[in-house]
Amino acid sequence: MKLERLVIAEQVARALAAHRGVVALETTVVTHGLPHPKGLEVAAAMEACVIAAGAEPATIGVMDGRVRVGLAREELARLADTPGVVKLNLSNLAARLAAGGAGSTTVAATMLAAHHAGIRVFATGGIGGVHRGVERTDDVSADLTALARIPVAVVCAGAKSILDLPRTVERLETLGVPIYGYRCDEFPAFWRRSSGIALDQRFDDLGLLAAAIREHWSLGTGTGVVVANPVPAAHELDELAYDRAMARALERVEKQGIRGRAVTPAILEAIQEATGGRATASNIALLEHNATVAAGLAVELASVVTDG
């Protein structure tokens, strides 16, 4: 990425120079993931969680053809109010930058920007993955491409459970992307704490988790790391209610012939409606929890540099 396209906020640059923990945060959750102005409120809450855990937040978005790392509150509000703001991933980011436009960053685009800025930890809700019906559509999220190419640790509540989770986990393994469970033995399913898919590695201590991530990066494979961090138990969706909501959501998508990038937001909207807002509360809880864990991890990773 050209240096003139990357603008790092002063407070983030100072934290990086001082080898403090820094956590990247995305902006798609603000513009598309939650209803306005709830997205802005949650973005502020996530930043507060990062700060409370001893790290520096760096919310990332695109404005005026520049990738901005560490958006100020007023800049984030401006992005949220931009009509028709575009979700940016690895395939459309360059065109948006060249056009001098604005956009919110997905998991993939946030990972790329964080890596160029020197940030090693990123907190999000859930990663994208292999979509249901992939044998017909070949629909696989660019998040998996980013994880295969960009050495950033992504703290998430697994993958969104609207996806084909067994295939998603299998694809990550094929790509050489480790999935480390933080205080869990199974891959989380976003609103649900478990998917029934066993993980190879569990860590109950952030220091040991950081050591494993550093060791992985020292191998030079160039891949990211998924840190699977389940939604807090108090905010997990009831299994029966979730299954019913998911069935209704999938039925709606099939009937309306929704395809491609429109599938995920359509399913998420249907599930929010079916659960009477409980899915939104769960989403917010897991976002804030991931931000807290990511901050602790960032501090641990930075401590080696500082101590050394």
Can you list the positions of beta strands (E) in the chain? 6-8, 22-25, 56-63, 66-69, 86-88, 103-105, 121-123, 153-156, 179-182, 201-203, 225-228
Say whether 26 is catalytic: yes
DSSP 8-state secondary structure symbol assigned to residue 262 = G
CA 11, CA 17: separation in Å to the nearest integer? 10
- Kindly name the residue from 26, 56, 186, 300 that is annotated as catalytic: 26
- Kindly name the residue from 47, 56, 160, 186 that is annotated as catalytic: 160
H/E segment holding residue 242: helix 239-256
Report strand pairing: 103-105 vs 56-63.
antiparallel
Confirm if 205 and 213 have CB atoms less than 8 A apart. no
What is the residue-wise DSSP string for 119-170? --EEE-S-B--BPTTHHHH--B-HHHHHHHH---EEEESBB-TTS-HHHHHH
Cα 40 to chain centroid, rounded: 16
Residues facing 7 on adjacent strands: 68
Report strand pairing: 201-203 vs 121-123.
unpaired
Say whether 255 is catalytic: no
CA 138, CA 263: separation in Å to the nearest integer? 13
CA 184, CA 204: separation in Å to the nearest integer? 8
Active centre residues (catalytic): 26, 160
